[in-house]
Amino acid sequence: MIRTMIQRSLLAISRKRLTLFSRASHQPPQQRPATRVLHISCVQTLHTIHTSRPAMASIVPKPSGPAKIFNDLNATFGDFRDDLMRDGYAVVKGAIPRERADQYADRMFSYLENFKGGLGFKRDDRSTYIEKNMPIINEKGLCFAYGITHEDFAWDIRAEPGVVGAFEKVFDTEDLIVSFDGFNFTFPTRTDMKENTPWPHQDQDPEKPDFRCLQGLVNMLPNGANDGGLLVCKGAHLLSGEFHKEFKDEKDKVWAWTKEWYGFTDAGMKWLKDRGCQWIKVEADPGDLIVWDSRTPHYNQAPTTENARFCAYTCYMPAADATQADLVRKKGAFENTLRTTHWPNAAHVGGLTMMRDGKPDPYDEDKPANPAKLSQRAYKLTGIPYIATSA
């Protein structure tokens, strides 16, 4: 019966057009994005990702254990989890060894240099840092189309033991699934894009005040106080429930494309300031993992130096927290090399059509240039092994 349900779900997906949305952080909230409609076939895939894993029977995931953060508000761990619970964010130093982090940065540069056969980008020539020479990267440095979320280096990063291991500690289970999220390529010297203005927000439904999601990014280049990047409102995650009770009937709310997003108005920012919450620019070295509670107000700050910023967005959640329908939908996204938001349960699949010179970008095919060869650990993160099979 379960197999029949899954087959029917896959067939339904392949026969209809799904309206696909972009993650909230990909577009300024004041602008309602035009949605992209794609035909997703779970029978005939757009691109194949190779795996180096043995055949695996369906796995029953182990749910979060008693040591999951926030289960005990008085718990102490003696590591980054103490910072995370207290401040709403933490830096996991050296989650990826420096040598490998440098290699990932080199692979990301190579991706840009070889994009679609090479459009003219050269890492050592800042004059080539312009739109016509690269994939479309928005003013916040975000790049999430072109199948980049399924490039080989994307999956290698997701499967890094120090990265996955941090989330295993947070959720107290090894049975995790990962988001198919994008990258950040920030080049401060670019003058061919609009200004990156602050837009503080939370990536969580205001009506669900408990800890639900841990977001993350792996930093690949030195990122100091003035180099641009993540700002967080320290400790504000603990005030989230109180805040949203007071602002439930707020006028002139910032438009949100999903319930799992909330934008702070000037009044909201004043409320946080009046309660002593400080905005902190998070600094990181290559290979550091930055994690933050989705209730923590945050945004991406523009740099004031000329140093580039490279990072990969990574978010994991317990496989047990995803429904079978979630996992089937996620399987379709994986097999068609489509992107998701930071939610690993593939709540939203796909995204906006990339526009180049005012027209749909002909390069936007959702096909990775170098398909990943997944290890068994990485394959489990796709969620596919957790799809139930009939006895």
Q: Which two tokens stand for residue 259?
A: 């319930």
Domain boundaries of the chain, sorted by first residue: 80-386
Report pLDDT for 187: 96
Fold for 80-386, please state it. Answer: Jelly Rolls (2.60.120)
Weakest mean pLDDT among 20-29, 273-282, 295-304, 322-331? 20-29
pLDDT tens for 199-252 read 999 999 999 999 999 999 999 999 999 999 999 999 999 999 999 999 999 988
Buried b (16+ CB within 10 A) or exposed e, 229-266: bbbbbbbbbbbbeebbeebeeeeeebeebeebbbbbee
What's CA 307's distance to the chain center, in Å?
23
Q: In this structure, how many other beta carbons lie within 10 angstroms of the beta carbon of residue 361?
A: 15
How many Å apart are CA 304 and CA 227, to the nearest integer? Answer: 6
Q: How far is Cα 226 from Cα 306, in angstroms, rounded to an integer?
A: 9
**CB 143, CB 136: distance < 8 Å:** yes
Coil, strand or helix at 116: helix
- Average pLDDT for residues 305-325, to the nearest whole number? 97
Q: What is the pLDDT of residues 243-287, one digit of tens each?
A: 999 999 998 899 998 899 999 999 999 999 999 999 999 999 999
Mean pLDDT of the chain: 87
DSSP assignment of 297-364 equals: -EEEEPPSSS--EEEEE--EEEGGGS-HHHHHHHHHHHHTT--B-S-TT-SSB--PPPEETTEE-TT-
- Residue 141's identity, in one-letter code, is G
Average pLDDT estimate for 374-388: 96
Strands (E), the chain: 17-20, 36-39, 50-51, 89-92, 142-143, 176-178, 183-186, 201-202, 214-219, 229-233, 262-263, 279-281, 289-293, 298-301, 309-313, 316-318, 355-356, 359-360, 373-374
Percent of the chain scoring above 90 in pLDDT: 79
- Confidence band for 366, pLDDT divided at 50, 70 and 90: confident
Q: How far apart are CA 372 and CA 337, in angstroms?
A: 10
pLDDT band at residue 316, thresholds of 50, 70 and 90? very high
**Alpha-carbon gap, residue 51 to 150, rounded angstroms:** 12
Q: 67 exposed, middle or buried (CB, 10 Å; 0-12, 13-18, 19+)?
A: middle
Under 8 Å CB-to-CB from 269, ≥6 apart: which residues? 200
What would the pLDDT profile of 33-89 be if each residue is shown by its tens digit? 333 333 333 333 334 465 555 455 589 999 999 999 999 999 999 999 999 999 999
Would you state the pLDDT for residue 21? 36
pLDDT at 26 over 50: no
Taking residue 200's Cβ as centre, other Cβ atoms within 10 Å add up to 20
Report how far residue 97's alpha carbon sits from residue 211's, in angstroms, rounded to the nearest whole number: 29
CB count within 10 Å of CB 56 equals 13
How confident is the model at residue 15, as a pLDDT? 37
Q: What is the pLDDT of residue 350?
A: 87
Is the pLDDT reported for residue 94 higher than 80? Answer: yes
Is 70 exceeded by the pLDDT of residue 18? no
Q: Report CA-CA distances (Å) from 161 to 89, 166, 307.
A: 20, 8, 28
pLDDT at 51: 54
Give the model's confidence band at 389: pLDDT under 50 very low, under 70 low, under 90 confident, else very high. Answer: confident
Q: What is the mean pLDDT of residues 169-174?
A: 98
